Chains A and B, each alone.
Chain A
Amino acid sequence: MKKQLLSMNVNDETIEVAVEASASLLEVLRDELGYIGVKEGCSEGACGACTVLMDGRPVRSCLTLALEAEGSSITTIEGLASGGQLHPIQQAFVDRGAVQCGFCTPGMILSAKALLDHNPNPSDEEIKDALAGNFCRCTGYAKILDAVCSLRPASSSKPGR
């Protein structure tokens, strides 16, 4: 099949890559570019493990055609920590015990980031809405909710708001 040139920005790096028109963004990120933090859990848009940010919005990379990313900025989990310093959301997930098997974690953190970036003080319900498309089979979500709540301003850093 003929390949087309795709140029996009991934984690602050400009990338040009030849892709097949039918390739998903997930395939290109994982298989071509080596961003293995983009997880494939279902390939049908159900689990959210493949979530990446496209221009700040969470998208399911398994359902997104790679060519749709032309000219956009993609953030994968690999793009969050900088200079050996974890992003505050990553740190909160570590500190609050929100990580068990870790397979859902990259998608979950990116969904949380998309929320907190435009709403730094979300209610519990808003957090749950934002994470409703990310399945976790291990944690029962309690510590994940804890972790995200802990990033709200100090007065409301516990669930229950």
Chain B
Amino acid sequence: MDREEYSFIGRSIPRVDARSKVTGEASYTADLKLPRMLVGKILRSPYPHAKIINIDTSKACALRGVHAVVTGKDTAGEKWGVFRYTRDQQLLCVDKVRYVGDEVAAVAAVDEDTALEALRLIQVEYEELPAVFDCRSAIAPDAPLIHDDYQRNINVAVKIDVGDVDSAFKNSALVREDTFVAEEDSYFMTEPYAVVANSGSDGSIEVWMPNASPHTKAKALSNALKLPLSKVNVRKITIGGAFGGRSDVFPAEFITCLLSIKSQRPVKVIYTREENSIATRMGHAMITTIKTGVDKDGVVLGRDIVSWLDGGAYSSTGPIATSVPFLCHEQTYRMDNVRFHGYRICTNKPVRGMIRIHGRSFACGIDTQLDMIAQELGIDPVTIRLKNARRAGETTPTGSYVSSCGLIECVEKSAEATNFLAKFKNASPERGIGMGMNSVQTGFPLGIRGGSQAFIKFHEDGGATVISGVVDNGQGNDNMLVQIAAEELGLPPDDIRLISADTEVTPTDAGSYSMISTFGGGNAVKSAAADAKAQLFEVASELLEADPEDLIAKNRKIFVRGAPDAGISIARVVRKALILGRPIMGKGSFSPQVDQRREWISNPKGQLSQAFSFGATVAEVEVDTETGQVKALEVTCAQDCGFALNPIVVEGQFEGGVAMGGQGGMLGEEHRWHNGHVLNPSMLEYKIPIIKDMPEIKPIIVETIDPAGPYGAKEAGMSVAMSAAQAYCNAVGSALGIYFNHYPLTPERILDAIENKKTGIVTAWEFEPATKIEVETSPKGSK
């Protein structure tokens, strides 16, 4: 079908959830109020590493107004991990604490003051242990072990080796090795984390919390609480941003449920901003050493990469987090020979997860080094990228077939729109320009089996209700589902109600991590709508005396192609179907075609994701060489999103990606530390971009119509967030003639690099490389 024939798809129509958000009606977790609800508070470890000798809760229990106190004793040491082989986080610490903030005990009381007083009355006896705060000291032979079974504190070791890298280096005209370092960054979604749990006398429990996958949360809670899945009901709630930081399961959910079960009353836990920073997830710090060999034209012949990720105290999404920076890279760049050793290393710091620009040191390192190689060979940054960029119809080194890819177009369009080459040649502190490119997945298997399913039911007035497990974190998934159903059913979005992300009612869905929602959930709703439509056409064909094949649903009517005026209303068809005893009930599902044998550690090969999005971003900046301040002037971002289901929403994703990935992610966002304590957990000290920081952003939407995406759509904006970080980095670099290798580029770092500017094509700083580590017993991946 041509774009012009679509009624709703491909058009910038307002989001269905916008109205309730501008009026303040939209209810987020902290807004919930239930009768007799208690306030829950969590006691956290003050030490980065310590043995728990004893916990005495008697005084807290005796305090008036306290209804429940829980400790590790109430949990039987129950542990959480995304995979069976990474189950290493006790939901309440029993024997040991591993970071400042680890959950030790919790209380539920009539009000906040009483709850806080009760926390003060809990006496915990600790025996402090030596702690480690960075990768290098954590892997030292004599370092204290954070978990007994992670030798040298290596939590995850991923190894990928394709082709013959050593021969490729021998055949290369130029080989470079450089090391890139990035510090920890954080999500700072505007809504602080919160949980409400309400236990029922029938042994069921309802839970509300910002989440990226209600079904994953329900599964984890059902396991930990030993309740049947049907009795753990994670409810729909408006969510104030995620960016990867709501994907995992957190102890707080489990603790709030325990408190509610114990007190037999609803309990609400609202995290302080500080707790949101330290006790949900944050981004990994990372050291990446990249060795690249190219021929004389700049074509990459081989790469050997070693990454060390500082994972903090527990596994979280460890195997995935360790692999994804490499996988994004192998999707973006062609190369026949490549080796990757990724190590996620435990330290006594908060737990790290995947963030919107996960792997800054990896992605920015690749692109910075590419610019260095180009400079050495006398090629420009655009040409060297075009020579190495992925194309459709190719297969990545680890075996993912790329069915659609508009990367070349993204590079060409963004270069042309910015007049890149001329500006690059004349780069100066007044105007530096840089380009980055990247690619992300549209979903990979994690935890929930079987993709996404959807149901559609009809009302007698012709309206419909769509039921889907997809969750909306703020990116617009609810609208995406409604828009797709509207298109398919020929109903205006206003006629469609959506029930989503409530595990009691909605069928399973993988969750909105790994950029899968449009591709997976969108496809499921599309197929449910197609099923409903086929049933409608079946009945309508009898009324219209026409072949169902010739029918069209549009503007609330069903008619024979070419004869819209002779149509009948969908409402009439729905009623007729009821009379005939053939009520319209659409159902659909979608499971992405990926290689189910692929495993992150034990078998990292095969189709990872069914489709991939690609993006290229160009940033233009001005650098004040006196102060080290960078002002972004203009950012142009091009992304192949497959098909823009709603262009204004897609642009919004691009713009948000530039803010978080480039502006914040490359110019200032990082955590500072003292002995395992985060020095800047609050919004006053951790600087996220404000409106005055933002440059003008020029979005370029590239469409390649993926064969399997709904209407050809893939995902929107994620490869922009990543490539924006790379573009900003290279733009500052070109402004100063410096190759930066320590991120983010704070004024202090920029001034230091200017002061100690080196000659020749070298990185600004020399770091000890990340090296291969021999380990015998890193956890084995298993199905």
Which residue numbers of A lie inside 8 Å of B, CB to CB?
30, 34-47, 49, 76-78, 80-81, 86, 90-91, 93-97, 99-106, 109, 127-129, 131-145, 159
Contacts and interface: CB of A to CB of B under 8 A. Distances in A.
B262 to A, nearest CB: 24
A9 B224 CA distance: 48
Given A37-B23, A93-B18, A47 B691 contact: no
Interface in B668-714: 682-684, 688-692, 694, 696-697
Interface in B7-59: 12, 14-15, 17-28, 30-31, 33
21 contacts: A35-B24, A37-B23, A41-B273, A41-B683, A42-B192, A46-B682, A90-B22, A94-B22, A100-B475, A101-B190, A102-B20, A102-B21, A102-B474, A103-B189, A127-B691, A132-B691, A137-B188, A140-B655, A140-B663, A140-B689, A141-B689
Contacts of B475: 100-101, 138
A100 B190 contact: no
**Secondary structure call for the A interface:** loop
B243 A137 contact: yes
B662 to A, nearest CB: 9
B239 interface: yes
A39 B270 CA distance: 13
Question: How many B residues touch the partner, as a band?
Answer: 35 or more
B656 interface: yes
B434 interface: no
B22 to A, nearest CB: 4
Contacts of A138: 190, 241, 474-475, 652, 656
A99 B692 contact: no
A44 B683 contact: yes
Nearest to A133: B690
Given A100-B656, A140-B659, A128 B692 contact: yes
A137 B23 contact: no
Contact of A78 (B21, B24, B473): B24
Interface string B260-281: 0000000000001100000000
A97 B683 contact: no
B657 interface: yes
A101 B655 contact: no
Contact of A86 (B17, B22, B28, B192): B22
Contacts of B240: 39, 101-103
A39 B190 CA distance: 9
B324 interface: no
Going nearest first, the 5 A-B pairs with the smallest beta carbon separation are A37-B24, A101-B474, A102-B21, A103-B240, A140-B655
A36 B659 contact: no
B28 A103 contact: yes
Given A44-B273, A142-B697, A103 B23 contact: no
A100 B692 contact: no
**Secondary structure call for the B interface:** loop
A41 B21 contact: no
A35 B23 CA distance: 11
Nearest to A78: B24
A147 B17 CA distance: 17
B190 A41 contact: yes
Contact of A143 (B27, B191, B473, B652): B652
A109 B22 contact: yes
Nearest to B690: A132
A134 B68 CA distance: 38
A46 B697 contact: no
B220 interface: no
Interface string B636-652: 00000000000011011
Contacts of B239: 101
B658 interface: yes
Contacts of A44: 273, 682-684
Nearest to A30: B31
Which of A34, A102, A109, A127 counts the most chain B CB atoms within 10 A? Answer: A102
Given A41-B273, A44-B684, A143-B651, A86 B23 contact: yes
B523 interface: no
Contacts of A97: 12, 14-15, 648-649, 651-652
Contacts of B241: 100-101, 103, 137-138
B94 interface: no
B473 A101 contact: yes
B24 A139 contact: no
B691 A131 contact: yes
Contacts of B189: 101, 103, 137
A142 B190 contact: no
Nearest to B684: A46
A45 B684 CA distance: 8
B24 A43 contact: no
Which of A78, A129, A138 counts the most chain B CB atoms within 10 A? Answer: A138
Contacts of B243: 137
Contacts of B451: none
B105 to A, nearest CB: 23
B660 A137 contact: yes
B238 interface: yes
B476 interface: yes
Which of A47, A106, A109, A159 counts the most chain B CB atoms within 10 A? Answer: A47
A100 B689 CA distance: 17
Given A36-B28, A101-B475, 20 more contacts: A35-B24, A39-B190, A41-B190, A41-B192, A42-B192, A44-B682, A49-B190, A86-B19, A97-B652, A100-B652, A100-B656, A103-B28, A103-B240, A105-B22, A137-B189, A137-B241, A137-B243, A139-B659, A140-B658, A141-B689
B22 A93 contact: yes
Given A36-B24, A47-B683, A86-B19, A103 B191 contact: yes
Nearest to A103: B240
A69 B209 CA distance: 32
A128 B695 CA distance: 12
A135 B14 contact: no
B756 to A, nearest CB: 34
